[in-house]
A and B are shown apart, each in its own frame.
Chain A
Amino acid sequence: MRILLALLLLVSLSAQADQLDTIKKKGDLVCGVLGTDEPNSFVDPKTRTIIGYEVDLCKAIAKKIGVKLTIKQLAVAARIPELQQGRVDILAAALTHTKEREAVIDFSLTTFVTGQRVMVRKDGGITQLAQLAGKKVVTVRGGTQEPNIRRAVPTVDVVTFETAPQALVALQQRKAVAFVNDEVSLLDAYGKLGPAQKDFVLLDQSLSTEALALGLRKNEPALKKAVDDTLRELESSGEAERLFLYWYGPQTRLKYDKRHFRIESDKLPT
């Protein structure tokens, strides 16, 4: 019994320690990323390391705090539990800022704004979201994709997979009529299809607008300030714009010609 009490005390004490101090003490910032979500975080085929827009944000934060960076790859559904249990310090994992999630974690300034859209096969004859009623769609498990498509089309049949590439394969194999995901990920997947692009199309309608932000454990004001300050500096120095164009710009598969958002607010878009 006494050991149990000691353990409980230990757990509650370690939960109370300021996370920024802990990070500085161990000299290491652990950043949780997806690693399967180009260009946010993905494995560079040349160096076999994980790189991307979100990885660069993590690098900037680690540099600002003055510690080294460790990248940890997570499944979509494991993001919030891993953060809550303290196995990662920051989530940079295409995490949508939602009201529901605000109850359990804190968010940094919005780092990206995207919509969720739907990819279909051209020969499936689907041109409108409403036509998905009663049909099978696939997406990735543990994100906002499933609730969003169910809200848009209540009678839709959703099957989810651990990673987005698996869901895309299921669409390619005609196991479903549509694949729901963040616009950026869909554009990237579309770009990778190569000659097969002619068989697929993205529906024009967006399911939602998603403000992506970094996820932080609740009530860690010092760490949140360090993260937000870093992001503000990236914005004011023009580095944020450069990173966006490097990963999303006209030279990339995604071909965004300009940035439609600024890194400035940590509030939910209204």
Chain B
Amino acid sequence: MSIDLSIVLSGEFGQWLLRGFLLSIELTLVTLVLAFPLATFVALLRLSPWKPLQGLGFAYVEGIRNIPLLAHLMFWYFGATQLLPEGTRTWLYEHDAESICAVVALTLYTAAFMAEDIRSGIRSIPTAQFEAARALGFGYLRSMRLVVLPQAVRITVPPLISQTLSLWKNTSIATVIGTAELMYQAQRVETATFRGAETFAVTTVAYLAVSGVITLLGVLYQRRYPVRAA
């Protein structure tokens, strides 16, 4: 059987793959927008001077990070949805429950990793900076927002871009809960055409291309905004 990419790229099959590709991108973007603020919040919890809040942040990060993403997806789709009140559940099932549950699982998972990167970034700013801000009369939050975070961002963005890269690849696991992303559509095309090599060659190139763009963004950012010596 010779390799013929046109079979999987043209007509209906090409449409399926394109739809899967777009949903994968959408999952990545929506998750990113939700995970970043959550991660920042968790990082601040862990850095908070108050022990119970630190403990909460620690429990979140370690609890989420140490369980495989596959288990997260299964839990949010098959498990957690059953605990919802009936009205909410019915609403969810009438909408795209597969994608919504995937976003929930991916957001919580990605945020745990991002929180650690953000925390490391903040910790890398010498305490003297924070103390100086406090000495000038800024409160905890304002010292963070105006003095520490702007410096920490430059250090934090590169690892966050690397987490985005993981997130982009992790969307493929959502296929197990029936989310019609790129991997799901690829399996559909393979089943319909028996052209596994072609289908997964196209899919691989699609993943690689977007990964390449994300990596490039990381490199560009580091060139434009190098870390400043404190």
Residues of A within 8 A of B (CB): 77, 80-81, 84, 100-101, 103-104, 136, 138, 141-143, 146-147, 159-162, 166, 169-170, 173-175
A147 engages B194 (CB within 8 Å): no
Residue from B81, B187, B190 within 8 A of A173 (CB atoms): B81
A144 to chain B: closest residue by CB: B191
B178 engages A170 (CB within 8 Å): yes
Interchain CA distance A87-B19 in the complex, whole Å: 32
Residue from A81, A143, A159, A169 within 8 A of B98 (CB atoms): A159
Across chains A and B, the number of contacting residue pairs, with CB separation under 8 Å, is 47
| 21 A–B contacts, CB within 8 A, in A order | A77-B187, A77-B190, A80-B194, A81-B190, A84-B196, A103-B194, A104-B1, A146-B188, A146-B191, A159-B98, A159-B178, A160-B184, A161-B178, A162-B176, A166-B78, A169-B78, A170-B78, A170-B178, A174-B89, A174-B93, A175-B93
B82 engages A173 (CB within 8 Å): yes
Cβ of B192 < 8 Å from any Cβ of A?
yes
Interface size range of chain B in the complex = 20 to 34
Cβ of B23 < 8 Å from any Cβ of A?
no
Interchain CA distance A174-B177 in the complex, whole Å: 15
A138 engages B178 (CB within 8 Å): yes
Interchain CA distance A263-B217 in the complex, whole Å: 62
Residues of B within 8 A of A (CB): 1, 78, 81-82, 89-90, 93, 97-98, 176-178, 180, 184, 187-188, 190-192, 194, 196
Residue from B82, B89, B178, B191 within 8 A of A142 (CB atoms): B191
Minimum CB–CB distance from B209 to chain A (whole Å) comes to 24
B93 — which chain A residues lie within 8 A by C-beta? 136, 174-175
B1, B176, B178 interface centre (most CB from chain A within 10 Å): B178
Interchain CA distance A142-B190 in the complex, whole Å: 8
Interchain CA distance A147-B196 in the complex, whole Å: 18
B191 — which chain A residues lie within 8 A by C-beta? 77, 141-143, 146
Minimum CB–CB distance from A132 to chain B (whole Å) comes to 15
B1 — which chain A residues lie within 8 A by C-beta? 104
Interchain CA distance A81-B78 in the complex, whole Å: 29
A142 — which chain B residues lie within 8 A by C-beta? 187, 191
B78 — which chain A residues lie within 8 A by C-beta? 166, 169-170, 173
Interchain CA distance A167-B188 in the complex, whole Å: 16
Q: Which 9 A-B pairs have the closest CB atoms?
A: A159-B178, A104-B194, A142-B191, A81-B196, A77-B187, A175-B93, A161-B178, A174-B93, A77-B191
A169 — which chain B residues lie within 8 A by C-beta? 78
B97 engages A175 (CB within 8 Å): yes
A177 to chain B: closest residue by CB: B93
A80 to chain B: closest residue by CB: B194
A160 — which chain B residues lie within 8 A by C-beta? 178, 184, 188
A141 — which chain B residues lie within 8 A by C-beta? 184, 187-188, 191
